[in-house]
Structure 1
Amino acid sequence: MGAQEAAVEDVLRAAAAEVSTSSAKRRFRLFRHTLPLIIAKVIESPSDTALLVDIIFQTLPIYDDRASRKAVDDMVIQALGEPTFMKPFAAFLVQSMEKNLKVINPLTSFKLLRWSHYLLKWSQFATLSKVAFTRLASAQAVLCQVLMDGSFRRRRTCKQLFIHLLSEPSGIYKMYMEELKDLRISMRDSPAFLNLILDFTISSPSLSTEYKSVFLDLYVKTILSSKDRPPKAATEAFKPLLLEIGHEDFKNTVIPSCIKMLKRNPEIILQSIGYLLRTVRLDLSKYFMEFMPIVLHQARHSDEERRIDALSIIGTLSEKSSDPDALPSMVNAIKVVLGGSEGKLSLPYQRIGMINALEQLSRSPPKQISRLAPSVSSFFLTCYKDDGIEEVKLAILSAMRSWALVSAEAVQPDVVSFIAAGLKEKDNLRKGHLKFLRVICKNSDSLTKARELLPVASLLDHLIQLSKTGFSKTTQRLDGIYALFAVLRLAAVDTKADGAILKEKLWTLIAQNEPSLISLQLLLKLADDDCLAVLDLLQSLLVDHYFRVGEYFSIQSLLQLLIYLLCHPSWEVRKVAYDATKKIFSSSSGLAEDILFLFTDWLSLVGERLSILKQGYTPNSLYFSCNHPLSTVLLLFLHLNPLNLLGTHVGYLGFNSSLPQLA
């Protein structure tokens, strides 16, 4: 017997020396043949068992090939059936998991999670010690968070592992639910773990019926009744629950907690309530008036973050309330506050907050907007005339734009006269009116209505002068772009306007001063909204006035501008640029070939600059953003261009075989 013990010990010592080998074959032989044969003898000695466990855990950071890992896993599963092995293995595993929380390694985290899965599935560990299971579950939750914050593949693998574990008939699911219910697993540190279990529960009708109320109680305790602001990830972890919540639970459980916290600690709960209202699949017509008085108070708070969160809630309430009486009620609630029902709004940010609240109501269903648009527009005009603060006036103009964007009914005779007078304002206010006019000109119904309400000449003369000034002076170029867009849109619906453009020699003046409309240096400095205005102008030039543009401008310079906007860092700008490009290609298929050639030339330039960057040489004059979605733009061209363009010119690009990889 002593000889056998000595032989086992010798094998373990040899294994300890060999476990770190880089040879996959030797690793495989060690855990597939050598060690499994002596497990029965090893577990007879506590010291030998401890050495075996230590050998197994030495593989964690170094075994990276699949065959070796599987050999180790199979041996662990085989040994877990023996209680004398399971206990030291579990202790070492929990310690390693807790230690790994401080030094996060995704691959090691996954291996530890997988071994914890084996421990729960192939042994009696879960039934032996509640305290030990709590430690294991808490560590699992944090490691789960590590993986769920990683790549798609890691998230998918982690999710599959827990689905298999939760599906085990051994009662593991109920044990996890007890840990969550008693808050022994931290929601703040591991929201992904909560989300996985909640998603698993909701996907099962029987589990959902049994445990939905438990999760609802957790949501109220950890989010709606939190003593400090809940992390965004923790709030979003409850999304599967919020998507399934019904009117009864919402009215009886959720609403009272929301209102209570909004009155007590609004700064803590505003963001979470905003997410709640955006996520639930409920008509909010029954509840909006419970929120409005409290949220309106926050919408005029001195803290900007509170105002933003409150305005988001107001927008969601209006968007998700189908009752025809909801919008008038919300409008009146805001009007009376502006009228002084809760005290005079003496500070500009207070009035701006209420105006912004009215702007958020433009997210209501369009039919409701159309009925109220005329009266709301008149109210905006009254507010504009009565307020002497520029910031407030700009907020009013922004709100009027939002309403006009949804409904042409917002364009009334007094509104058109207001815009015409506003074009004579100074600097910021003039630009605010030009932005308002851009919205009207983009909407064909609004433009036609504006033309009917007021003679074109009253607007056109001043717009042409603004265009001339804008393209003569670089400092006013942006005003010129907004004004020229309005001029071109008016000319597209009125022949007199087109004649006035020729008479004033506007085309000639612009071509002489700035044939590309705007320099790249200036374009780089523009805000996203202003870039969208440039796109509107480009589209109008190349769609509505293509032949006229061909007489005075270089089409190539305009297309180069379009290419830059197609590759703009902002997704919003790129999306509008894509839509504009589709319309331009539809109106003139010849431009598709031109822009494709320009883009491939630009790709060559980008390749050269990337080569310079790789060599470590970055001159000050070099401007390049590696975030530009070059492949996306290329594929856009290939999808939109005529079939003969594909056949003729794809070879010119020089990467036929790699095109699928670009996606």
Structure 2
Amino acid sequence: MAADTQGQVSDTLKRFAVKVTSSSVKERKEVLEELKECVKGKDLPEPVIKGLCKLFYLTLHRYRDAASRRALLSAIEVLVQSQPDAIATNLPPGLLSCGVVSRGVMPGKSTASGACCALPWTCLIVRIVFPSADNREGAKWKKLVEVQSVLLAEVVGGASGNALKSISKCFNKLWKENPGLVDQYMSTLLSLDQSCVCVPLLGLCVDFCTAHKDIATINKHKASLLDLYVKTVLMSKTRPHQHILEKSGSMLRHMSHAEFKEQLLPTLQKALLRSPENSMP
């Protein structure tokens, strides 16, 4: 990078750091547009990428209006296109520690709002950085899907109905445009450490498959889905949050009477004896 160009980039980034959290929507849009032009086609050092990610996180609880969020998403898209690997490595993990994830408590409106803002960023990364089935593997891909599952659990638990519909459309559009992607999502989620936090995103996957009559994909993962439900929801030592219980219904609707009798009923009976307050809705 030439010295004069490097100086321009440095000045732009400094202005962005100062104005990104401005209360003025006009100022936000101006500085984000300036950032877009600055980073387009540039190969920025990784420390700069990390710094930008930290600044992006600051917007999650500040940008409440659609115009600011659209402008930010547009800037992030340009950055992802310019440096896909660096963004995929640095942006998603930090979303788990920037105040948009509830820790052991029911998600609230504040965390859910931040998660609603962050999820479209992650969908951008999926679309641009992981466009083909061949590269949807490895640590970065797994971490990205894990982060999405945690963020969606926040949205399902604390966001308004309209916000949840908007995020659901975002995922549905992504899966519809990329045949086979929803199958890979389910495989990846089921390969992670078992947690009931994955249930909302898995439920959304199942709902998508149901709507598109892709019963083969559901049947492919049904045994693993039921195993996850039994171990993380039915046998949970603490009562799962209501939104987890509700999203479990998407998976349970595809269970046959025989599967219920053989796989769920014995466990349910044990759970009722051990912790009836956790097992009964």
Cα 1:208–1:12 change in 2 (3 A) is same
Shift of 1:169: 0.9
Superposition map of 1:241-640 within 5 A: 241-245=251-255, 249-251=256-258, 253-258=259-264, 260-261=266-267, 266-267=272-273
> Secondary structure at the residue paired with 1:80?
helix
Once residues 93 and 209 of structure 1 are traced to their aligned partners in structure 2, the CA distance between those partners, rounded to angstroms, is: 31
Q: CA RMSD in A?
A: 3.4
Is the deviation greater in 64-73 or in 213-222?
A: 213-222
Cα 1:15–1:221 change in 2 (3 A) is closer
Say whether residues 1:116 and 2:122 are aligned partners: yes
Once residues 228 and 178 of structure 2 are traced to their aligned partners in structure 1, the CA distance between those partners, rounded to angstroms, is: 30
Matched to 1:82, the amino acid is: S
Answer whether contact 1:199 1:240 (CA < 8 A) is retained.
yes
Shift of 1:156: 1.8
Say whether residues 1:141 and 2:135 are aligned partners: no
Cα 1:235–1:27 change in 2 (3 A) is closer
Matched to 1:257, the amino acid is: Q
Shift of 1:110: 0.8
Match of 1:91 in 2: 90
> Secondary structure at the residue paired with 1:77?
helix
The list of structure 1 runs, each at least 4 consecutive aligned residues, that deviate by more than 6 angstroms after superposition, is 269-275
Cα 1:73–1:244 change in 2 (3 A) is same
Once residues 168 and 244 of structure 1 are traced to their aligned partners in structure 2, the CA distance between those partners, rounded to angstroms, is: 25
Once residues 76 and 194 of structure 1 are traced to their aligned partners in structure 2, the CA distance between those partners, rounded to angstroms, is: 26
Say whether residues 1:20 and 2:28 are aligned partners: no
Cα 1:38–1:257 change in 2 (3 A) is closer
Shift of 1:201: 1.8
Cα 1:128–1:192 change in 2 (3 A) is closer
Say whether residues 1:68 and 2:68 are aligned partners: yes
Matched to 1:219, the amino acid is: L
Cα 1:221–1:56 change in 2 (3 A) is closer
Say whether residues 1:105 and 2:111 are aligned partners: yes
User: CA-to-partner distance for each residue in 1:84-132, whole Å, 9 max, x for gaps?
Assistant: x542464133212344324762221111111111111122388375222
Cα 1:67–1:197 change in 2 (3 A) is same
Once residues 19 and 265 of structure 1 are traced to their aligned partners in structure 2, the CA distance between those partners, rounded to angstroms, is: 51
Cα 1:262–1:191 change in 2 (3 A) is closer
Once residues 35 and 198 of structure 1 are traced to their aligned partners in structure 2, the CA distance between those partners, rounded to angstroms, is: 39
Q: Which has the higher contact order (CA 8 A, sep 6+)?
A: 2
Match of 2:169 in 1: 160
User: CA-to-partner distance for each residue in 1:47-84, whole Å, 9 max, x for gaps?
Assistant: 4444444443443332333222212211211221123x
TM-score, scaled relative to structure 2: 0.77
Match of 1:8 in 2: 9
Cα 1:170–1:79 change in 2 (3 A) is farther
Once residues 15 and 263 of structure 1 are traced to their aligned partners in structure 2, the CA distance between those partners, rounded to angstroms, is: 58
Match of 2:229 in 1: 222
What is the aligned residue count?
267
Say whether residues 1:210 and 2:210 are aligned partners: no
User: CA-to-partner distance for each residue in 1:358-396, whole Å, 9 max, x for gaps?
Assistant: xxxxxxxxxxxxxxxxxxxxxxxxxxxxxxxxxxxxxxx
**Uncovered stretches (5+) of structure 1, i.e. residues with no partner:** 276-663
Match of 1:182 in 2: 191
TM-score, scaled relative to structure 1: 0.36
Cα 1:223–1:25 change in 2 (3 A) is same
Once residues 35 and 123 of structure 2 are traced to their aligned partners in structure 1, the CA distance between those partners, rounded to angstroms, is: 22
Once residues 188 and 260 of structure 2 are traced to their aligned partners in structure 1, the CA distance between those partners, rounded to angstroms, is: 23
Answer whether contact 1:53 1:89 (CA < 8 A) is retained.
no
Cα 1:208–1:238 change in 2 (3 A) is farther
Cα 1:254–1:272 change in 2 (3 A) is farther
Matched to 2:3, the amino acid is: G
Matched to 1:18, the amino acid is: K
Cα 1:215–1:41 change in 2 (3 A) is closer
Once residues 53 and 125 of structure 1 are traced to their aligned partners in structure 2, the CA distance between those partners, rounded to angstroms, is: 22
Once residues 132 and 163 of structure 1 are traced to their aligned partners in structure 2, the CA distance between those partners, rounded to angstroms, is: 22
Answer whether contact 2:102 2:154 (CA < 8 A) is retained.
no
**Uncovered stretches (5+) of structure 2, i.e. residues with no partner:** 104-109
Shift of 1:20: 2.7
The percent of aligned pairs where both chains have the same amino acid is 17
Answer whether contact 2:271 2:279 (CA < 8 A) is retained.
no
Q: Which has the larger radius of gyration?
A: 1
Answer whether contact 2:155 2:164 (CA < 8 A) is retained.
yes
